[in-house]
Structure 1
């Protein structure tokens, strides 16, 4: 059974009654709840736990890490970020949600600023499937709409995705690369845009399906990391 850890800084839920009303069990709790329905073994972790809930033991027993952060990126320990990075390189999957684009771990894996345009104006978001054969969008139609969301707009300062799966259009006219995959070392990374904390986005059936599919796509394959450095020849080298 695939082991999933859902990480959330869990700060908006404590500070904003609107968020706590929408997500009474926290954003991490809402995500864990629908993932558990897909025969996945799910645990949660939050920022204020010791080691942010991401000890070596937890990460070594995590196949896929789901990450939600927003207002406390800088509070995440560099030591824990490096621990997560090494696990991704070793093969652990990483699914980064919404404002996690600005998390230390995503920026470290991308090597760019990961900056973008944004606006909170209760806009409709239309999310288009641009890679219909990709397993992350299995069961999702040509497009779906979220009645209200925060706008993210291009330019999104990320490396060109290995695969572009989803593109968003917003009522104000902007577009955004909202579903992007990457390979880092042996690990698979998926960035998925929707999920502003004051909207019930994580109760949307299509959003739940995409995150569930992404977890199943990102789970590790049974393969050791390549061996690097000085290598002996496989064949005898003639003079």
Structure 2
């Protein structure tokens, strides 16, 4: 089982009547309910929990952390953000959704400002699969569409992704790198753009499939952990000299 934790602000979910209508039990629970399966075990944490639900114990029992945030990015204490960052470097997967591009752990892991352009208008988003061989795109087809979403546009101030899985096109003409992977230390990171709180995006089956695929991709490996501080003996001498030229 992949131990997955969905973290949400639970701010708009409580105070915005449109968000409440779209997600009666909260965005975090909508995402969590869609993920639960024979392969994925899901826990939920929110901003109001003790230590924001991100204690050492919780993180040590998490294989993949999914993060949605917006209005309270700066309210997450640096200590908690750094705790998440250390766990990612140690092998925990991290999936940043929508406006979590400005979440402290994501910015710390990227090492850039992670800014972008945006337009809050209900317009169609078409997400094109640009790497059909990638496991995160499994079962999606050439593209899928969301009839109503917020626009995010370039330039997106992130490092060049290790892999680009999706590119979004919007009715206003903009494009955006909307599905990006990164590796930091032993951890794998996926940024996925859709998910504005004013739209029922996380009920979409394709969005749910992408996030589920991403969890399976981002899970920690079982490879032996390198011991970087080991005092290793010298390599065995060669049995015979190498002849470069006859």
**TM-score surpassing 0.5?**
yes
Q: Which sections of structure 2, spanning at least 5 residues, go unmatched?
A: 239-246
Distance 2:154 2:233 in 1: 48
Measured on the aligned residues, the alpha-carbon RMSD in Å equals: 1.4
CA distance in 2, matches of 1:210, 1:38: 17
Partner of 1:119: 119
1:37-76 per-position Cα deviation (integer Å, ceiling 9, x unaligned): 3531100000111100011111111000000000000111
Q: Corresponding residue for 2:175?
A: 175
- SS in structure 2 opposite 1:165? strand
Q: 8 Å contact 1:90–1:224 — kept in the other structure? A: no
Q: Secondary structure at the match of 1:32?
A: helix
1:42 corresponds to: 42
| 1:13 and 1:23 in contact (8 A); partners too | yes
The answer to whether the aligner puts 1:128 opposite 2:89 as a matched pair is no
- The whole-number CA distance in structure 2 between the counterparts of 1:229 and 1:174 is 48
Where do residues 21-32 of structure 1 align in structure 2 (5 Å cutoff)? Answer: 21-32=21-32
Mapped partners of 1:56, 1:234: distance in 2? 38
Runs of 4+ residues over 2 Å off in structure 1? 223-234
Contact conserved, 1:125 with 1:145, CA < 8 A, in 2? yes
Deviations 1:15-57 (A, max 9, x none): 1011011101111000000101353110000011110001111
Alpha carbons 1:88, 1:187 under 8 Å: kept: yes
Q: Aligned pair count? A: 238
Matches of 1:224 and 1:63, distance apart in 2? 16
What CA distance in whole angstroms lies between the structure 2 residues aligned with 1:152 and 1:51? 31
Q: Which runs of 5+ in 1 are unaligned?
A: none
Cα distance between partner residues in 1 of 2:6 and 2:116: 25
* Pair member with larger Rg: 2
SS at match of 1:196: coil
1:55 corresponding residue in structure 2: 55
1:121, distance to aligned residue in structure 2 (A):
1.2
Are positions 1:215 and 2:215 aligned together? Answer: yes
TM-score (norm 1): 0.96
Displacement of 1:237 after TM fit? 8.0
Alignment of 1:178-217 (within 5 A): 178-217=178-217
Q: Structure 1 residue 155: deviation in Å?
A: 0.4
